[in-house]
Amino acid sequence: MDKGLIMQLGMFTACLPKWPLNRIATWAAEAGYDALEIACWPRTGGRDFEASHLPVADFGPAEQEETLLLQSRHGLTFSALSYYENNLHPDPERRREIHAHLRHTIDAAYALKVPCVGTFIGRDPGKSVARNLSDAEVIFPALVDYAGERGVKLVIENCVMEGWHPDGYPGNLAYSPELWEWMFGLGLYLNWDPSHLTWIGIDPVPTIARYADRIAHAQAKDVEVDSSTRQRYGFFGKTMKGDNPWDMGWWRYRVPGLGQVDWAKVVDRLYEHGFTGALCVEHEDPIWTGNPQQTTQGLRIAHRTLRPLMVH
């Protein structure tokens, strides 16, 4: 069967920030993955999770040829190049840097014929939601046009990004179907991830049918909710988080199969509604992380969960 006509099982490379892309591609192909969503943060030597697997800011003909040869050698699809940053950053200079790097990522996607570039809406936490949405309506049309002129779709992941807000409120204004409908009006598409929907109280499965025509890419991440712990902290999570702004206290991400997402229904609905993109494992499971051996074992668990559900 033509790979281009069926859903593919992929992985997001960000979980292996210390490995070069060629090593990840070799491992992924041997492990039975079909596709890679490639992390494209700048090579600044910053935080560990900001993986830089393609030099998009300096992506010339030599890099293009090398990357296409790597892709061909391993028989992999590159489903998206992704740079998940705050496109509404409150610092104007930092915002300009983010937009410039996003354009570099779009350029690299065009050179490699990758259909999607992943990013966030983001948020200025010092402004109201309404002000942020108004700002986005000014900022995003130019980015959407830049991508569209190159045959690339900008896909927004529906991650809440609560750690970006000083009080743990949503830091990425793309977390709910209401906000999806708003951003679709700007020409943006959805990188659909059920884990975020689950912990904020939205059943992810029914959202597939309603928004199938705007789901250009999908991520496979699970979530484990502890309702008894939520009795202490409430929905908004811990107030005193120490040095970890991401510690909500009552839920945690897991690899597919170790949380509460019904993957059989998810995959079935994606097929039912004609999804032919990639479903890429985004591995943020705190149990199966810490070193490459643990991380790759987590990716194997995810593969064992999802592969039997998919046409191959």
Number of domains making up the chain: 1
Where do we find the tokens 């194997």? Answer: 300
DSSP per-residue string spanning 12-74 = EGGG-TTS-HHHHHHHHHHHT--EEEEEB--SSS--TT--B-S-GGG--HHHHHHHHHHHHHH
Q: Residue 124's closest CA among 94, 97, 103, 102?
A: 94
- Residue with tokens 């107030």, as numbered in its chain: 239
Predicted local distance difference test score (pLDDT) of residue 1: 39
**199 pairs with which residues across the strands?**
none
- pLDDT computed for residue 213 by the predictor: 97
- For the chain (312 residues), the mean pLDDT of every run of 10, in chain order, is 71 97 98 98 67 95 97 97 98 98 98 98 97 98 98 98 94 98 98 98 98 98 96 93 92 98 98 96 97 98 97 78
Read off the pLDDT of residues 246-291 as tens digits, 9 standing for 90 and up. Answer: 999 999 999 999 999 999 999 999 999 999 999 999 999 999 999 9
Per-residue pLDDT, 6: 84
Tokens of 55: 């030099």
* 101 touches 83 (CB < 8 A): yes
Q: Which pLDDT does position 48 carry in this prediction?
A: 46
pLDDT digit string (tens) for 17-33?
999 999 999 999 999 99
Q: What is the pTM of this model?
A: 0.95
Residues in the chain: 312
pLDDT at 5: 55
CATH code of the domain covering residue 111: 3.20.20.150
Question: What separation in angstroms does the CA of 122 have from each of 81, 153, 259?
Answer: 18, 18, 26
Domain containing 18: what range? Answer: 3-309
- Of the candidates 131, 89, 91, the one whose C-alpha atom is nearest the C-alpha of residue 102 is 89
Say what the pLDDT of residue 45 is: 52
Please say whether the beta carbons of 1 and 44 come within 8 A. Answer: no
Contact (CB, 8 A) for 207 and 179: no
